[in-house]
C-alpha cells in the first residue's frame, strides 16, 4: 500500500509539472493579402511570424542579444578546429511524423543555395565554406559541401570562409530553421502544400484565400487553435492585428525593426544618373517625422543608430535647383514592397514624400508590388523602390550584404563599374581579424556606399501591433521586434 501511494504521488507530481493548460483560441489579423502567409514572397514580418510558430528557432535570443538553445541542444565555437558545433535535441519529430536528424539540419542550412530563385541564404549564410561552388539547380547531396560535416545523428560541424561574429545570431531567424526536404518543391524554398517543422504549432488547414489555421502540436503550446487571417472580416473578433483597428491599443517594439529607404534600380537609365541620385538625396533631407516619433526616427545611415560603423555625411555643396532643371523631372513612379494594397505605415511616409516633392513640381506615383526579390523586368520599368531593410543588431555587415554580387537585392546593387570596389570593400571587412580592423573596414564600406549614393535611408522604423484590450491583457516579454512570441501573450 505504501509503495502504491508513493508511485501515485510521483505520477501526480510529474503530471503537474509537465502539463500546461492551453487557452482555447487566438485570432490574429496579419494584413490584406492574396498570398498565403507562408508563401516565399509574403512580407518579411508575416513570413517570420508563421515560421516562428510552425518551424521554431534553432537558437533563441534574449535581452542584450544573449543566446540560448531551442531546437539545438548545444552550440559553440571550437577554437581548436575553427569550426561551429551544432547539436540537435533528442527526440525531435517533424509535424509529418518523421524523426529529425542532423542531415535535416545540414539541408536546412544550405537549401537556398541550390535554388534558382533568390533568397536570404546568400546574405546571412553565404560564408559557409563551399556553398559558393554550388550551382543553381544542383541537387542537394549530404556531405557534398566542404564546410559542413555530419558528426553523428544529432551533430554537425560547420566551417566558415572567414570569421563571422553573427553566425549563431543568424540562426535565431526561423527562416533558417529545421525543415524536411520531402515537403518542399524542387526549388527547396516553396512548400508542396503547407509548412512542416518541429515548432509548437502545426498547420491544421492551409490558406483558403482568407485564413490559415494552426493547432497546438506540443504540450507547451499556449493555444489550442491559432487562426491567421489575411482578409479583414467584420464578424471576427481579432485578439491582435498587424494593421490598425480602431479602439485597439497600440504597441510599439522596443527597438526599430528596419530602415526605410529609397533604392535605385541599376536597370533603369534615370536611376543610374548620379545627378538624379543626388537630387533624391537632397530632397529627402527635408523630410521630418516629428508628428509620429514613436513610429519613425529620421536617419541618413543604413546602419541602426546605436551601431558602430556609422559615418558622418561629408557631402559637397549641391545645386538642387540647377540639377532639377537639367533633369526636367515631372513624374516619378515608385514601387512599394507591400501586400495587395498599401497599409497605414506606407501611407504615412507616402503622404510626406508626395507633399515634399510636390513643392518642386514633381508628382510621385507609388505602386504596390509583391515581389520580395524584384525581377529584372520590373527593375527596368521603375527607377525607384521604397522598402524597409530589417535592422541587424549584431553584425553591421549584414546590412550591406544584400547589395553584393551574390546578394538578394541584385537589381539595386551598385552598377557594373562600381560593384567590384564595393565587393572588395565588403570582403576586406568580412575578413578582418581584429575589431579595430573590422571597424575601419565597415566605415570605409559605409563611406563608399554614401559616396556612390547606393540608396537613400529615410527613417528607422519600429514595429507596431494593435491589441484588443477586451481579450489580451499583455503581449508579455517580446525580444525580437520582427516577431511576436505568442507563447508569452497574457489573455484576459
**pTM score of the predicted model:** 0.85
Does 87 reside within a domain?
Answer: yes
pLDDT at 15: 31
57-94 in b/e form (b: 16+ CB < 10 A) is bbbbbeeeeebeebbbeebeeeeeeebbbbbbeeebeb
Domain count, the chain: 2
- Per-residue pLDDT of 363-383, as tens digits, reads 999 999 988 889 999 999 999
Residue 70 cell numbers, joined: 531551442
Taking the C-alpha atoms of residue 54 and residue 437, their distance in angstroms, rounded to an integer, is 40
Taking the C-alpha atoms of residue 223 and residue 472, their distance in angstroms, rounded to an integer, is 13
Does 291 reside within a domain?
Answer: yes
- Per-residue pLDDT of 128-167, as tens digits, reads 999 999 988 899 999 999 999 999 999 999 999 977 778 9
pLDDT at 224: 96
User: Does 287 lie in the same domain as 157?
Assistant: no
Taking the C-alpha atoms of residue 321 and residue 361, their distance in angstroms, rounded to an integer, is 12
Q: Is the pLDDT of residue 170 over 70?
A: yes
User: Does 436 lie in the same domain as 346?
Assistant: yes
User: Does 472 lie in the same domain as 359?
Assistant: no
Q: Quick check: 309 and 443 in contact, CB under 8 A? A: yes
Q: Quick check: 54 and 180 in contact, CB under 8 A? A: no
Band of pLDDT at residue 123, cut at 50, 70 and 90: confident
Q: At 229, which CATH number?
A: 3.40.190.10
Q: At 265, which CATH number?
A: 3.10.105.10
Q: Which domain holds residue 434?
A: 255-463
pLDDT at 54: 98
Does 484 reside within a domain?
Answer: yes
Residue 7 cell numbers, joined: 508511485
Residue 278 cell numbers, joined: 543626388
What is the average per-residue pLDDT within 284-308?
82
Instruction: Specify which residues 88 forms β-bridges with.
Output: 72
- Per-residue pLDDT of 12-35, as tens digits, reads 333 333 344 467 999 999 998 899
Residue 385 cell numbers, joined: 523602390
pLDDT at 425: 95
Who's near 278: CB < 8 A, 6+ residues apart? 318, 323, 453
User: Does 301 lie in the same domain as 156?
Assistant: no
pLDDT at 22: 61
User: Does 259 lie in the same domain as 234?
Assistant: no
Taking the C-alpha atoms of residue 277 and residue 270, their distance in angstroms, rounded to an integer, is 9
Does 7 reside within a domain?
Answer: no
Pairing assessment for the beta strands 59-61 and 67-69 based on DSSP bridges: antiparallel
User: Does 152 lie in the same domain as 50?
Assistant: yes
Amino acid at each position: 500500500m505504501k509503495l502504491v501511494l508513493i508511485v501515485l504521488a510521483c505520477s501526480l507530481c510529474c503530471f503537474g509539472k509537465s502539463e500546461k493548460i492551453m487557452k482555447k483560441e487566438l485570432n490574429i489579423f496579419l494584413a490584406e493579402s492574396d498570398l498565403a502567409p507562408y508563401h516565399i514572397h509574403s512580407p518579411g514580418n508575416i513570413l517570420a511570424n508563421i515560421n516562428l510558430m510552425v518551424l521554431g528557432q534553432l537558437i533563441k535570443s534574449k535581452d542584450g542579444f544573449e543566446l540560448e538553445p531551442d531546437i539545438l541542444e548545444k552550440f559553440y565555437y571550437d577554437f581548436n578546429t575553427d569550426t561551429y558545433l551544432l547539436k540537435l535535441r533528442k527526440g525531435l519529430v517533424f509535424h509529418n511524423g518523421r524523426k529529425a536528424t542532423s542531415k535535416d539540419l545540414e539541408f536546412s542550412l544550405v537549401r537556398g543555395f541550390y535554388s534558382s530563385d533568390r533568397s536570404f541564404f546568400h546574405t546571412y549564410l553565404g560564408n559557409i565554406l563551399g556553398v559558393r561552388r554550388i550551382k543553381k539547380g544542383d541537387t542537394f547531396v549530404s556531405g557534398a559541401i566542404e564546410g559542413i560535416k555530419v558528426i553523428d545523428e544529432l551533430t554537425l560541424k560547420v566551417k566558415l570562409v572567414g570569421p563571422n561574429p553573427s553566425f549563431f545570431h543568424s540562426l535565431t531567424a526561423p527562416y533558417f530553421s529545421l525543415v524536411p526536404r520531402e515537403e518542399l518543391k524542387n526549388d527547396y524554398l516553396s512548400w508542396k502544400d503547407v509548412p512542416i517543422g518541429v515548432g509548437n504549432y502545426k498547420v491544421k488547414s492551409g490558406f483558403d484565400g482568407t485564413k490559415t489555421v494552426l493547432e497546438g502540436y506540443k504540450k507547451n503550446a499556449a493555444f489550442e487553435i491559432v487562426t491567421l487571417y489575411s482578409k479583414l472580416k467584420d464578424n471576427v473578433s481579432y485578439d491582435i492585428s498587424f494593421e490598425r483597428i480602431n479602439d485597439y491599443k497600440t504597441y510599439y517594439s522596443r527597438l526599430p525593426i528596419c530602415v526605410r529607404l529609397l533604392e535605385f534600380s541599376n536597370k533603369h537609365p534615370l536611376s543610374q544618373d548620379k545627378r538624379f541620385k543626388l537630387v533624391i538625396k537632397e530632397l529627402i533631407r527635408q523630410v521630418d517625422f516629428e508628428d509620429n516619433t514613436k513610429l519613425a526616427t529620421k536617419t541618413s545611415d543604413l546602419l541602426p543608430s546605436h551601431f558602430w560603423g556609422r559615418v558622418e555625411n561629408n557631402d559637397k555643396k549641391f545645386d538642387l535647383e540647377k540639377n532639377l532643371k537639367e533633369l526636367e523631372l515631372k513624374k516619378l513612379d515608385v514601387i512599394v514592397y507591400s501586400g495587395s494594397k498599401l497599409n497605414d505605415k506606407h501611407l504615412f511616409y507616402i503622404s510626406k514624400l508626395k507633399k515634399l516633392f510636390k513643392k518642386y513640381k514633381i508628382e510621385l506615383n507609388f505602386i504596390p508590388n509583391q515581389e520580395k526579390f524584384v525581377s529584372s523586368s520590373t527593375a527596368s520599368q521603375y527607377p525607384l523602390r521604397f522598402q524597409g531593410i530589417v535592422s541587424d543588431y549584431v553584425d553591421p555587415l549584414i546590412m550591406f550584404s544584400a547589395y553584393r554580387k551574390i546578394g538578394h537585392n541584385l537589381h539595386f546593387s551598385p552598377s557594373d563599374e562600381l560593384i567590384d570596389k564595393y565587393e572588395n570593400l565588403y570582403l576586406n571587412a568580412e575578413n578582418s581579424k581584429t575589431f579595430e580592423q573590422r571597424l575601419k573596414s565597415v566605415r570605409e564600406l559605409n563611406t563608399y556606399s554614401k559616396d556612390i549614393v547606393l540608396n537613400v535611408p529615410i527613417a528607422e522604423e519600429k514595429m507596431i501591433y494593435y491589441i484588443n484590450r477586451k481579450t489580451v491583457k499583455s503581449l508579455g516579454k517580446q525580444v525580437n521586434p520582427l516577431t511576436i512570441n505568442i507563447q508569452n501573450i497574457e489573455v484576459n
